[in-house]
Every structure is written in structure tokens, then in C-alpha cells.
């Protein structure tokens, strides 16, 4: 319970209205010299991060129905490209972050704009068309 007393004291101290104690000003930061700051490059976009996770969760399910690793990789890559190029909303990405099985994706598409739905559908259909016209793997 001592933490409760501390919280009450902090709230009371911050909530006071007396205004009798002036707030000390913080010193101005030193000017930044050119070339002294280095920003770390963003290595992965939100699209790449979320869709890579989605891909990992549904990969085994798609492999069981005969989708090969190169096709799975291509599907993930085109989904990321579509997401980045058509700028999927945070709501769409949050939905994809929750996808556990392939059928869950159907709950995400209504959150997309028509342009986004058309774009991802066109890309995935292109992959599907190549899968259906590709010769079967040779048997040893």
C-alpha cells in the first residue's frame, strides 16, 4: 500500500492550483552540428513486419494444399508491395496481424478500399494463373 500513498502524493502535487512556485525553465539544448547525427535506417515497413508474420502463420496451411515455398515467398512479397503502394490503413494491418488461418483474411478485405482490394486481388490472381499454367514438377 505504500505505492498508493506515493501515487496520491504525486497526483496532489501535480494537480495543485496554487501556482505559487514558478516552474524552473530547462536550459536550451546545444545546437546540433551538421554531420553529427546519424539516423538509423528503418529496416522494415509496417507492411513488411505485419505481413511477414501473417505469412508465417498461414504458410503451413498453404503448403499442405500444394503451394511451394517460392510461390509462398512471392505471395508474401506481392502482398507487401500492394500494402506499401496502396497504403493500407492501420485497421487493415491490425486485422492482418490477427490472421491465424487463410480464411481469416476474408475478415480483412472489407476494411480495404476498392483500390486496395482490386490491387491485391489482381496481384494474387497473377500468381494463381502462373501456378495453373506451370508444368507439374518432374518426378525422379
Q: How far is CA 86 from CA 47, 72, 96, 124, in A?
A: 11, 21, 15, 15
CB 97 within 8 A of CB 54: yes
Q: Which domain holds residue 64?
A: 46-131
- Round to whole Å and give the CA distance between 120 and 83: 8
Instruction: Report residue 84 as a C-alpha cell.
Output: 506499401
Give the list of residues 6+ apart from residue 67 with CB closer than 8 angstroms, or none: 75, 131
Q: Does the residue 1 lie in any domain? A: no
pLDDT tens profile 30-41: 665 666 555 544
Instruction: Please tell me the total count of domains within the chain.
Output: 1
10 located within any domain: no
CA pair distance 58, 104, nearest whole angstrom: 10
Q: Is residue 119 part of a domain?
A: yes
Is residue 53 domain-resident? Answer: yes
Q: What is the pLDDT of residues 81-140, one digit of tens each?
A: 999 999 999 999 999 999 999 999 999 999 999 999 999 999 999 998 887 765 555 555
Q: Is residue 30 part of a domain?
A: no
Kindly report the pTM of this predicted structure.
0.63
101 in any annotated domain: yes
Q: In this structure, is residue 98 part of a structural domain?
A: yes
Amino acid at each position: 500500500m505504500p505505492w498508493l500513498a506515493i501515487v496520491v502524493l504525486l497526483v496532489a502535487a501535480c494537480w495543485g492550483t496554487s501556482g505559487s512556485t514558478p516552474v524552473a525553465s530547462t536550459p536550451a539544448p546545444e545546437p546540433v552540428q551538421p554531420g553529427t547525427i546519424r539516423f538509423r535506417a528503418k529496416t522494415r515497413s509496417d507492411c513488411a513486419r505485419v505481413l511477414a508474420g501473417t505469412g508465417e502463420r498461414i504458410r503451413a496451411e498453404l503448403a499442405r494444399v500444394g503451394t511451394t515455398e517460392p510461390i509462398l515467398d512471392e505471395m508474401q512479397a506481392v502482398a507487401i508491395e500492394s500494402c506499401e503502394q496502396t497504403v493500407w490503413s492501420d485497421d487493415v494491418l491490425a486485422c492482418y496481424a490477427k490472421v491465424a488461418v487463410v480464411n481469416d483474411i476474408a475478415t480483412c478485405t472489407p476494411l480495404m478500399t476498392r483500390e486496395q482490394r482490386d490491387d491485391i486481388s489482381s496481384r494474387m490472381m497473377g500468381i494463381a494463373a502462373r501456378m495453373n499454367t506451370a508444368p507439374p514438377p518432374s518426378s525422379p
